[in-house]
Structures are given as C-alpha cells and as structure tokens.
Amino acid sequence: TGIKCGGVLSAPSGNFSSPNFPGLYPYETECTWLIVVAEGSSVLLSFSHFELEYHDACAYDYLQVYNGAARDRGNLLGTFCGHSAPPPFSSAWHVMAVVFRSDRHVAKHGFAAAYRKDACGGQLTGLSGEITSPRYPESYPNDAECRWSIGGAGGSGPLTLVFADFQMEGGQGCGFDYVALFDGPTVTAPRLGRYCGSTRPPRTVSSTPHLLIIFKSDFNIGGRGFKAHFYSAGECQEVFTAIKGNFSSPQYPSFYPNNLQCQWSIHLPPGYRVKVFFLDMELEGRSSLTGGCDYDHLSAFEGGSENGSLLGRWCGWESLAPVTSHSNQLLLVLHTDRNTAKRGFSIAYVGVVPMNVSCTRTDFHIQIPMQSLAQLEKNRIYLGTPSCAARVVGRNFKIHTRFDTCGTESQRRNNTSVIVSTLYIDFSEGDQEDIHQYEVQCEPKKKEASVTLIAGPDPSRLSQAENLVDAQQWEGEAMDAREIKSQDTSDIVFISICILAGLLMVIAVVGLVLL
C-alpha cells in the first residue's frame, strides 16, 4: 500500500527498477512501465541486475516483457524470474511494456533496467519479425555497427532470412559498408555470407535455431540500407509433400504471437489437387470501419507463391467450408499485426486423387494414372469390396464393373434415381490405418457420373462431403474430371417389362391366328 511504481517513459533513454531497489522489493506489488519513443524508432531494453524469487514456471514473482502494449498475449516476449537476467530485447516498433509482479511471500532485491531509442541490434526471440538498418528508408548513418541475434527463446527450428530491400555502398570484398550473416549466436559460428552494393542477398536458411546479423558502415558514402524479414521454420514456415497432413498456427491452441508472417506450402504430385479443411479457427475480427480482414488474417493462394490467384482470405471466428485448389500446389499465409492475438487455427488437408469416372446404363468405368498412386498395389484400390480390385492396364489402374456387383445400390436423390458405390484407396502403413473413400455415382439415363471425397484426413471432424471433380475430360494422360449425375435400375426394369409385354402380345396374336 502506498508504493508508487511503473508509469509512462517517453524520454529518448532512461532507467527504471523494481520498488526499493537495491533493497528488497515489497510483497503483493504490481508495476507496469510503458516505454514510448518517437514513431518510427525502436526500443532497446537491457538489464544490469536481476534477482527475483525462483519458480520453474515463474508462478510467484515474475517480470514480463511485451513487444508493444502490456497484457496482449500476442506481444509477450518472455516471462522471467530467478537469478538469470533476461537477454537484451529490441522492439519491433516504438512501444515496449514491462510488467513486474510479486506475491505475498519471499522478497528479493529485484532488477535494474535501461532503455534507449533508435538503437539498432538486440536479441530477437519472436517466431517472425522485421529488421531494418538505422533510419531506413532514409540513408543510414556513418560509423554505425549493429548486431541482431535471432533465436533462443522457444524456437527449435532453423531460421530463414529474406531481404525485401537492399542498397549499400559497394566495393570489392565488401570492405566498407556491409551486412554479414553467421550460422549461430556469435561471430565464431560459420559465416553464411557478407553482402554490400545494390543486389539483394539470397534467401538464407540457418542450420541452427540461431542467426547473427551484423551491419557495419564506415566514415563516408552511405545508402538507403536494408529491410529483411525472418521467420522460424517448423512453426512459422513448413512445406508439405505427403498426400495428407495437418498443421496449426504457432502455439495453437494458445494465443498466437503478434507480428507474424507465416507460410505453409502444400506441394503434391502432378495431377493431384489440394483440399483444405478448417477444423478450428479464431483470429482477430473484421475491421469495424471497412468490414474487411484488415488486421490478423489467413489467406490461401493458388500455386506456391503469393503471386498466385487468391482463393480466400479469412479472419474472426468462423466456420469455413473446405477449399480446393485447381492445381497440385497451394500456399497458406498467416499475417498478424501488433496487437489483439487469438487462439489461431487448426487445418487438415488431403490430396484429391486424379481420376476419370464414367458410366453407361449398366456399368461403372474408373481410371487412375499409376504415377499418382505409384506406391500402391492394385489390390489396395477397389470399388465396394476388395473382390472388385483395380487391374493394371497400360499406365493406369482400371475398374470396370456392372451395377449389380461391387456393393452398388440404388438411391433416390433430388427426385432422380442414381446408382451409388464407394471407391476405396488404401494408403495404410503398418498399424496406421489410412483409407480414403470416394463416393461414385451414376445416372444411367444420362450416362453421367460423378465422384466425391467422403472420407479423407479425419472423417469425424468433416461435416459434409463436397463434389471434387469438375468437368473432367481426358486428353492423353492429362485429365480434368467430368461432373456427372446418376440414377437407379428402375429404368432398366421398366424397359425389360415393356419387352416382355411385347413378346407376350405377339404370342397371343399368333395363338389366335392358329386357332
């Protein structure tokens, strides 16, 4: 009671400490310092002394550092206690918050911290972020040296660094102004490159969870400098090539971090398409001004880059219908801004097997390129029952069967009679059962067929099947799918009765003549 602590720190630099420092801090105290410097600047925070009550999960006394406003879980850079001082932190923008809390037992000497604006370099621990040279995009200062050490707070995968802009003084050997990259936290780690001039450095991927970036300028001749993005592979960037899989936003189902730009690329064999199922999604909501997803959002792009056609952009708390690509590649990108984090998303995907399904009034014809299912034996592809397995004909798996076999049945859908069966493709390995099911149906009167994925990544989580094959036509080995509808055997029975009635009439007429 009566303890004054915390407040807004707006000077270009300054110091602050726990109450009573270097004496023991008081019990049951909570303090928040909000550091606000000039817009466009950044904040470098460092600790000269640190001693708090220790707990494995820092559940008693603790200090929290936020990359922006306090209490937004997406901005949290770390929670600290004990005797190990936090590393230096560099903010991603001009606001940083520090929260100190003590409980009613065990007091220690607390901490002392210093900050300054326009600092370059520091310890960056987020899953993704942005780095710029001092004063970017204006000319960087002379005689500058900055060091950014990325990683070391929860990240376990390699780091990727991509330069969006680069203009510095050139020179043979980059002996004047340069950016140097090291595959580890210090300059003793292997050097990944040294760059200068106006050519953007190549995309760089570390082999460890740490990356050191050094920027140095000499006494004259500057340039615009650079802007680069980094992200952690495994949590914020993944490439999937398996026929099916699943992934989620970083830290799901806990709140995702702010300031993310994450990518998940799905690249399947030629002929396949990618179908994505949204199992759960909660992002920051739509803008009240524009009604659009202007803040945090998830986007899907056709192909392998953001230059592809936009298949959708989503935000908020929505129940979404599945999305299917037009090709064998699909890219998902998560963008989060500086505040208001949510639970995130969970996604499953499945590769839609390329196939041609057609029918006559009495038969199904199914054809699948062998290259699409190269790892499977023909008996693991069957219609209705294992006894109706595919045959190998040329370079294709083929199934040709009559409607009265292979588990087919007649149904009435939308006042239309159809013949329906199930195509099974068994990808199971060992004890892991993995059977994809496609419903095939035929309307014999029109000789039209269709195929629909009814069981893929996790049938219990998928609410309904969707038609996956649109206008399929064969051109050599290339195919699109042809959408088709079906009917049951009632027409065939009707025609048979008519023929029988005609024969009986003829017999009757002949009998009368003979009499």
What is residue 280's predicted lDDT score, i.e. its pLDDT? 94
Highest-pLDDT range among 77-81, 91-95, 329-333? 329-333
Which amino acid is present at 157? Answer: G
Residue 283 has pLDDT above 70, yes or no: yes
Helices within 217-329 (DSSP H only):
none
Q: To the nearest whole percent, how much of the chain has pLDDT over 90?
A: 52
Query: Tens digit of pLDDT for each residue in 240-279?
Result: 998 889 999 988 898 888 878 888 999 998 889 999 999 9
> DSSP letter at 389?
B
Answer CATH for 237-352 from 3.30.300.30, 3.40.50.720, 2.60.120.290, 3.40.50.300: 2.60.120.290
Residue 376 has pLDDT above 90, yes or no: no
At the fourth CATH level, which superfamily is domain 7-118? Spermadhesin, CUB domain (2.60.120.290)
At the fourth CATH level, which superfamily is domain 123-226? Spermadhesin, CUB domain (2.60.120.290)
Q: How confident is the model at residue 102 (pLDDT cuts 50, 70, 90)?
A: very high
Q: Cα separation of 236 and 60, whole Å?
A: 31
Q: Tell me the β-bridge partners of 425.
A: 381, 436
SS3 content of the chain, % helix, strand, coil (to 5): 10, 45, 50
Lowest mean pLDDT among 247-261, 472-486, 494-508: 472-486
Residue 460 has pLDDT above 60, yes or no: no
Residue 297 has pLDDT above 90, yes or no: yes
Report, as an integer, the average pLDDT of 449-468.
56
Report, as an integer, the average pLDDT of 377-389.
93
Average model confidence (pLDDT) across the chain: 84
Cβ neighbour number for residue 335 with a 10 Å cutoff: 18
Query: Tens digit of pLDDT for each residue in 212-225?
Result: 999 999 998 889 99
- For residue 149, give the H/E element and its range: strand 145-150
Report, as an integer, the average pLDDT of 128-140.
85
Angstrom distances, CA of residue 241 to CA of 104, 108, 213: 53, 53, 32
What is residue 261's predicted lDDT score, i.e. its pLDDT? 81
What is residue 236's predicted lDDT score, i.e. its pLDDT? 76
Sign of CA dihedral 15, 20, 25, 30: negative
Contacting residues for 449 by C-beta, under 8 A, at least 6 apart:
357, 358, 359, 364, 440, 441, 442, 443, 482, 484, 485, 486
Report, as an integer, the average pLDDT of 359-385.
91
More confident call, 278 vs 72: 278
Lowest mean pLDDT among 99-103, 162-166, 391-395, 396-400: 162-166
Q: Cα separation of 338 and 93, whole Å?
A: 9
Query: Tens digit of pLDDT for each residue in 163-193?
Result: 889 999 998 889 999 999 999 999 999 999 9
What is residue 482's predicted lDDT score, i.e. its pLDDT? 34
Contacting residues for 433 by C-beta, under 8 A, at least 6 apart:
none
